[in-house]
Amino acid sequence: MKTDELARLLARGPIAVPPGAVARRQALALGAGGLAAFGLMLGLLGVNPDLRAATGLAGFWTKVLFAAALCGAGTLAMARLARPGASLGGAPAGIALALVLMASLAAAQWLAAEPEARRALVFGSTWAACPWWIALLSAPLGTALTWAMRGLAPTRLRLAGTAVGFLAGATAALVYCLHCPEMAAPFVALWYVMGIALPTVVGTLLGPRLLRW
């Protein structure tokens, strides 16, 4: 087939694309994966029985806001990396800012606490499970977001895998907030971040293999 014939073939028939196709696909994956993660959390962990009381605490909303900010920046990063030739925009700066603010708050709480109370601020009572649960909840999200990314056009595959893993982890952390009984900033700054880092590393490793097109 000659190249001109190919151009003609490609141009005939159904060619229209509704605007917003990238955002729709990403939203669909985020919604489906988020719902599955929520179901996993309900089935395996259950909602924090003290959630109603927790919603009156600044610590709860700090945690939710932190995870939500990382979700937002991760969504932007993924959307940019799904488009050939697009720059990352403000996504890395947004992620860095959220991390720095959380770490500063954690340091402030830790410094302000009595020395004998510091251990509890860092480890709480669930530190050993927290990162693993976040990583587990990120599995359906990672699967759905990988599906979405495979239907788009990442040209920097490793970085695209990083973004998919990071967004899966951040969204899983947001879901995990509904179960998690911990309210201390040092706990969140350490174990939540570790839980998000696990799928981020997995995504970085799998990106070049899974996202080729």
Name the site residues for another protein (rule: CB under 8 A).
Answer: 1-4, 6-17, 19, 21-22, 82-87, 152-153, 155, 212-213
Closer by beta carbon to another protein, 180 or else 211: 211
Q: Among the residues of 45-156, which ranges form H helices?
A: 51-54, 58-81, 91-112, 118-123, 130-150
For residues 161 and 150, what is the distance between their CA atoms, to the nearest angstrom? 10
Closest distance to another protein from the beta carbon of 80 (Å) = 9
Q: How far is CA 187 from CA 13, 40, 93, 100, 191, in A?
A: 56, 23, 23, 15, 6
Whose Cβ is closer to another protein: residue 10's or residue 111's? 10
For another protein, the closer of residues 4 and 114 by Cβ is 4
Residue 28 CB, nearest distance to another protein (Å)? Answer: 14
Minimum Å distance from CB 79 to another protein? 9
Report how far residue 213's alpha carbon sits from residue 201's, in angstroms, rounded to the nearest whole number: 21
Minimum CB separation of residue 93 from another protein in Å reads 16
Instruction: Provide, rounded to whole angstroms, the least separation between the CB of residue 202 and another protein.
Output: 22
What's the rounded Cα separation, in Å, for the pair 213 and 197?
Answer: 26
User: In the complex with another protein, which residue's Cβ is closer, 12 or 52?
Assistant: 12
CB 32 within 8 A of CB 141: no
Q: Which is nearer to another protein, 2 or 52 (CB)?
A: 2
